[in-house]
Structure 1
Amino acid sequence: MKIVYPIIISKTDDKNIPYFVKIPDIDGITQGKDVDDAIQMACDYIGLNIIDKQDNNLDVSKSNYVLPTSKDCNIVTLVDVDIDEYRRKNDFKTIKKTLTIPNYLNKLEKENNINFSELLTTALKKELLV
């Protein structure tokens, strides 16, 4: 699922983080050190917001391709976030899975201090090319 929202970037007097970002479609605000950082922060905000809404069975605002008007010297642009890709890269919530292995492998795992969860995660990432 890809989502597109307009953002408005304004320059502020803050010397450390001088760019303020509004994301009107989800009532979001964030900041950035420069324009590129501000856009990336907006994408992160959107990704986290959508994932949170999905996980809590809340409605997600549809993509909006209409740029809002701005009277000031702001930057108004569209940003897109691939929510499925964002979730893959940022969803570190763990879940418990039950699996069946031969008893001798379980004994060897304990003798060799192998973490099955870590090993399985690494193997799945390699197999699934993520």
Structure 2
Amino acid sequence: MGKLFYPAIFHKAEEGGFWISFPDIPECLTEGDDMQQAYEMAVEALGLALVNRKEEKEEIPVPSEIDRIQEEDGTLVIVEFDIQEYLRKHNSKAVKKTLSIPEWLNEEATAMGVNFSQVLQEALMNKLNIGR
């Protein structure tokens, strides 16, 4: 799963700023003092909602087609969310892995001062086509 694009409704708040709702994710609401902050908060709120659904093994909704959304009292804005970027930023906890390699390879790599964790991370990112 790479970048996702979800429609959001930006509503003008009476006291200024905006409050944001997502038609496809009713529990996802946020607000911001101006358009820039509102958009940034919308990205963050969308991330929290989608990651929470993923962790709870709930369905990740397919974004609605924009022509099917009724923006009653607000402005329709498409919010871009990069789940890989979000997880890198918010979930960088190290996980211990046990693996086996041939003894001769271990000796060569140890003699060269190779950082096994770094090599494995780089190899996995390359294999999964995930950029840094």
| TM-score calculated relative to the size of structure 2 | 0.65
Shift of 1:49: 1.5
> What is aligned with 2:103?
none
1:9 aligns with 2:6: no
Matches within 5 A, 1:1-130: 1=1, 2-14=3-15, 18-27=17-26, 28-67=28-67, 68-72=69-73, 74-98=74-98, 123=118, 130=132
In 2, Cα distance between equivalents of 1:69 and 1:54: 27
The AA in structure 1 aligned to 2:14 is D
Query: Would the alpha carbon gap of residues 58 and 37 (structure 1) be closer, same or farther in structure 2, given more than 3 Å must change?
Result: same
Shift of 1:94: 3.8
Instruction: Please identify runs of 4+ aligned residues in structure 1 that moved more than 6 A.
Output: 99-102
- Structure 1 unaligned segments of length 5 or more: list them: 106-118
Question: What's the secondary structure of 1:57's corresponding residue?
Answer: coil
- Structure 2 unaligned segments of length 5 or more: list them: 101-105, 126-130
Question: What's the secondary structure of 1:24's corresponding residue?
Answer: coil
Equivalences, count: 111
In 2, Cα distance between equivalents of 1:80 and 1:97: 33
Please give the root-mean-square deviation of Cα atoms over the aligned residues, in Å: 3.0
| TM-score calculated relative to the size of structure 1 | 0.65
